[in-house]
Amino acid sequence: MVDHSLPQTFRERIERFLAELEEAGPAIRSAFEQGEPEEAAPAVQAAVGRLGPELAWRLCPGRGEERLGLALSAEGNRHLRLLTGWAVDQQDEAGGLDLFPSKPASPLDGDWVLGIQGHRLDAEEFRASAQIDPAHGAVDVQLHHPGFSDCEERTRTWAALLWLDEALGEDLVMRGVGSVETSTEPAGEDAVDAVQLVARVRALIQEIGGDPDQGPNRAHHMVRIPEESAQEGRFRADARFGTTRFLPVLGLWLDEDARDPLTPYGAGYAAVGFPLDRLEEGRAADQRGEVEDAIEEALAARGAGTVLGGMFGPHRAYVDILAVDADRAEDAVRAALAGSPRVGEAEMIFLADRDRSIRVK
């Protein structure tokens, strides 16, 4: 096998994470039921820590009555959110805990208080001035709170982001909120509370053709790379148009100096490229789609990752891949292409090692 210089694979990390949760789940649930959630924290942290750095978590209500959930949190990191989504797609329960790929919204009624840097901010007193930014398909937000006048700017910003995550849930913030500002001035008459802000963000997502109840990185988007940005002759960087369900990966391939942000987690981005000579004119997109489907099926069967989309360059078609186990992903691609009449020869390149081309057919 080719050494892709990745640490222990994310697939293996998920297996360890699930195994530890299976063992510790009963004790975690018991501590929570007895009103002592702090007793569960070490076991949860030990299990989540198996996945990698910068991954946060929260215990939350599960999917049914009297069920407990564990929400993983990428804390705004879109690449890490892609991994947590893949992980929960594989298995959404362990040790009696329902697993979530991100923190869901919390009810902000009653005496809920945000404690931060020695300040205590009543959640019900937050108000948001919300302005739709149609150019970016987002709602720009300015948050007001009577307690902001006593907070430094950095503390206000931190509090605003935490409140938005609690009020909307991380995924809705990621999909529908643009710029976030804070103000020490009293809220204007047009300011809205949490319930109204959620309604505005959901309405915007629907207006641009999305489903507010669908997590990020699910829907495919048509994309076209400006001609001046595409780089003729460079693998994957010469792509001009196609579809993707993860827009950030496009910029990574265009930046010669970009590092793969998934490497610390034992995962990585890869692309498979093959000549257009066996794709029929007028049916090329559908036939590239057949290749994508075959690769997706092979990746899923091996627990090796998933297809993110496909692009066309002047001379080659590409399939973008999230690989959670590099060796298994390479095997999956070889198996998928072996009998494909649409692909005569093909190469696979990992973003983390883009100078090395792997012949996969």
Full pLDDT tens readout for the chain, 361 residues: 333 333 489 999 999 999 999 999 999 999 988 989 889 999 999 999 989 878 899 999 999 888 999 999 998 899 999 999 999 999 999 999 999 999 999 876 657 788 888 999 998 899 998 888 877 778 899 999 999 999 999 999 999 999 999 999 999 999 889 899 999 999 988 899 888 888 888 888 888 777 888 888 888 889 999 988 889 889 999 999 999 999 999 999 999 999 999 999 999 999 999 999 999 999 999 999 999 999 999 999 999 999 999 999 999 999 999 999 999 999 999 999 998 999 999 999 999 999 999 999 9
End residue of a domain, out of 185, 207, 229 = 207
Quote the pLDDT of residue 7.
46
Specify if 2 maps to a domain.
Answer: no
Specify if 160 maps to a domain.
Answer: yes
Quote the pLDDT of residue 108.
64
Quote the pLDDT of residue 5.
37
Specify if 272 maps to a domain.
Answer: yes
End residue of a domain, out of 79, 100, 121 = 100
End residue of a domain, out of 68, 100, 132 = 100
Q: Which residues are paired to 347 by β-bridges?
A: 273, 359
Q: Are residues 243 and 350 in the same domain?
A: yes
Note the pTM of the prediction, 2 decimals. Answer: 0.90
Residue 165 carries which side chain, given as an amino acid letter?
D
Name the helix (H) or strand (E) containing 298: helix 284-302
Quote the pLDDT of residue 110.
59
Contact status, residue 354 vs residue 252, Cβ threshold 8 Å: no
Q: Are residues 265 and 316 in the same domain?
A: yes
Quote the pLDDT of residue 6.
34
SS3 percent helix, strand, coil of the chain, rounded to 5, is 40, 25, 40
Q: Are residues 130 and 197 in the same domain?
A: yes
**Segments forming the whole domain that contains residue 275:** 221-359
Quote the CA–CA distance of 282 and 5 in Å, as a whole number.
Answer: 40
Structure tokens at 5: 């210089």
Q: Are residues 123 and 96 in the same domain?
A: no
Q: Are residues 199 and 240 in the same domain?
A: no
Reference 22, options 91, 102, 110; nearest CA is 91
Specify if 105 maps to a domain.
Answer: no
Q: Are residues 66 and 150 in the same domain?
A: no
Q: Are residues 256 and 342 in the same domain?
A: yes
Contact status, residue 306 vs residue 300, Cβ threshold 8 Å: yes
Which residue bears the tokens 């999230």?
A: 322
Quote the pLDDT of residue 109.
63
Quote the pLDDT of residue 314.
94
Quote the pLDDT of residue 2.
36
Reference 347, options 248, 237, 272, 290; nearest CA is 272
Contact status, residue 229 vs residue 238, Cβ threshold 8 Å: no
DSSP letter at 16 equals H
